Structure formats: structure tokens, C-alpha cells
Amino acid sequence: MIVLGIETSCDETAAAVVDDQRRILSNIVLSQTEDHRPYGGVVPEIAARSHVEHIDGLIRNAMELAQLKFSELDGIAATAGPGLIGGVMVGLVTGKAIAAALAKPLLAINHLEGHALTARLTDNLEFPYLLLLISGGHCQLLLIEGLAQYTRLGTTIDDAVGEAFDKAGKMLGLPYPGGPAIQAAAELGNDLAVDLPRPMIGREGCDFSFSGLKSALRRKLESDPNLGVDDVAASFQRAVGDVVVDRTANAIAMARQKRPDVPYLVIAGGVAANNHLRLRLDRLCVDTDLQLVAPPPEFCTDNGAMIAWAGVERLGAGLTDPLDVQVRARWPLDPHARPMPFAGKKA
Ligand code: KG4
Ligand code: ZN
């Protein structure tokens, strides 16, 4: 079974071809970071226009690289949400057009499900596992028990963790995106130099909050303009690490109540590329007798292979979608999870 995957929900235009033997036949990602850098964040209109310009050529290249004819595909998977709606429409309409022209099944994929199932593609993982999904748009802990069996244990009540990194980077005058820039600066700094709060630590459950940390950082920088950027970056990264470890430790206990046998903690999303967080979570897993599974960074950030793979899994289970399926700006993976009214579009 061979599936084409299309991803356009944020600032990466991506296309990939994956088969049910976990072979990634092609995987092309075109990042728009340079287009958005002058604005210090993703501009939805610029993103959508860029997807329109590049998607056709990218899909053609992905098929050529996989050395396949369109007629050899068994299904077409495209992200249908959640995300920046203009971009999502570009990808889904393209997927629909290809599916209609070929008379092949369409798979309308939840972007979060793509992230959630990636470790099954890259690390051949069995269900169940605990998933920490940390990206520019999402910050959630989920128990993954099977295809379409996802329980959200916690989420952010305001900003996503990557968003916090990006805003902190901007305050420090670092280039966009802030996450990698803070990581690099932190390597040269003292992480005990600046006293910052650790929102939610010690609280029941495993929800996150980063807006207090962001405001505290702004106040520190205003009150002492001479603080060293490296020290601030290191202290900020450590504070985020403390929060993530505390919340994940609670999630492990919550997951074990439902599934005492859960063997893995999987990390996904762009922030999962962060060295400091990987180290801290590795230590947590050793302490709690879990195995940390961290897919290679290029599969943690947005890509087409994760969408194609989610398509393979759904097609295998007969979960195809009609050609009039709609895009969804908001689309929780766990339909029973309570909504977070202040978490904006992103959480
Ligand atoms: O998954 P992703 O590529 O896009 C979204 O779906 O959001 O994640 C992008 C986010 C950005 O906020 C970026 O700053 C962050 O991931 N990021 C990092 C690192 N690399 C990327 N954050 C911290 N440390 C990193 N090394
Ligand atoms: Zn993502």
C-alpha cells in the first residue's frame, strides 16, 4: 500500500510518499522560515500564498523521487486541520483534486494525528504509549492506545511551548524562530543566573501555562537591560525544562492509572528537537522506568511523511473520507477533551 502525503498547515510546504512497509520513498519539505523572519512570526496570508506557489512542483518532485506514477498510489492523504486555514485549504483541495482525478481514496488527516503516529513509522512502535507533543502550535500530553484511540491528559491553557520560545527569542533580539536560537545561546550561559517562575509546577494534573513565564521574562529584561543574553536564554530554557518535566511526571502517573503497562514516552513536534529537554526527559524516563522514544528531528518538525503514514494507517483500517470533507481550523485529537477557551487557535 503506497500513500502520498501533503502537509500545508503552517509554514512548511511538504509532500512525501510512504508505504505500509514503513519505507519513506520520498520526503520533501520546503520551509518558509526566510519569508516570515522579517515579521518575527508566521504571517498566515504569506504562508497560504507560498503554499499555492510551491505545492504542485513539490508533489511532482516527491513522485519523481519515489520513481512512481500517480496511478501506482493507493491513496492520497492531506492535512485537513488544525492549523492556519488558508494553508490547510491549499493542501486539502490539492489532495482532493488528485484523488478525484485518479479515483483513489482520500484521507483527510488531523495534523496532530500525524505527529502522534510518527514514532510508529520511524521506530516501529507498538501501542500504547504516552505522547508529549510540543511544537510552535501545540503543547499536549496524550495517551495513545490505538488508531483513533487518543486520550488528552493535559494541554496548555495559554501559549504553546514553541510559541513561548519564539516570543522569548524576540524579546532577547534573537533571530526567528526563537527555539533553536535560545538553545544555541543557552549553551554559553549560566542557567542559574536569572530567577524566573515555573508556572503550574506542583499543581495537580498535567496542563501547561507559559504566559506568566513570558511576562516575568519581559519584566526582568525591562528592569535590568544589562542582563547577558546567554544567561537569560539558559535560565529560560531551564525554567521551561523544569515545567515540562513536572507536567510529564504527572502525566506518566495518570497514564499508568489507565494503562499500567505503558512502556514508552514519545516526544514529537519541533520543540522535541531541543537538546536540553531531551536530556531532562531522558533522565525522567530512567527515573520512572519508561523508554524515551524521540524520532529524528526532521520527523519531529512538520513534514509530509507523517501525514502519508497516518494515511497508510487510516487506509489500512478503512477510514477514508468523502471528497466534500471540510477543513477544520480547530480539531482536537480527543473529541472528549474539554475545550481550553484562552488557548487561542493553537492549543
Ligand atoms: O513542529 P514545528 O516545526 O511547527 C509547528 O507545528 O508548530 O515546530 C516549530 C517550533 C518553533 O516554535 C521553534 O522555535 C521550535 O519548534 N523549535 C525549538 C527548537 N527547534 C525548533 N524549540 C526549542 N529548541 C529547539 N532546538
Ligand atoms: Zn506540527
Q: Per-residue confidence of the chain (347 residues) as pLDDT tens digits? A: 999 999 999 999 999 999 999 999 999 999 998 999 888 888 999 999 999 999 999 999 999 999 999 999 999 999 999 999 999 999 999 999 999 999 999 999 999 999 999 999 999 999 999 999 999 989 999 999 999 999 999 999 999 999 999 999 999 999 989 999 999 999 999 999 999 999 999 999 999 999 999 999 999 999 998 999 999 999 999 999 999 999 999 999 999 999 999 999 999 999 999 999 999 999 999 999 999 999 998 999 999 999 999 999 999 999 999 999 999 999 999 989 887 766 654 44
SS3 140: strand
Kindly give the residue spans of alpha helices, DSSP state H, lying in 187-228. 211-223
d(CA 49, CA 40): 18
Pick the ligand that lies closest to the CA of residue 114: 2
d(CA 211, CA 44): 22
Ligand 1 binding residues, C-beta < 6 A: 10, 135-137, 162, 165-166, 177-180, 183, 269-271, 273-274, 301-302
Pick the ligand that lies closest to the CA of residue 270: 1
d(CA 89, CA 80): 7
d(CA 146, CA 317): 11
Residue closest via CA to ligand 1's atom 22 equals 179
Residue 139 backbone dihedrals phi, psi, to 5 degrees: -155, 95
Instruction: Measure CA 251 to chain center.
Output: 18
Output the CA–CA distances (angstroms, integers) from residue 122 to 22, 101, 178, 267, in the order listed: 8, 31, 27, 12
CA dihedral 182, 183, 189, 191 (to 10 degrees): 100
**Cis ω before 128 (30° cut-off from 0):** yes
Q: Which of 110, 76, 70 has its CA nearest to residue 95?
A: 76
Residue closest via CA to ligand 1's atom 14 equals 179
Contact of 88 with 8, CB cutoff 8 Å: yes
Q: Which of 135, 236, 279 to mutate to test the pocket of ligand 1 (most atoms within 8 A of CB)?
A: 135
- Long-range contacts formed by 30-33: CB under 8 A, 24+ apart: 30/54, 30/58, 33/176, 33/177
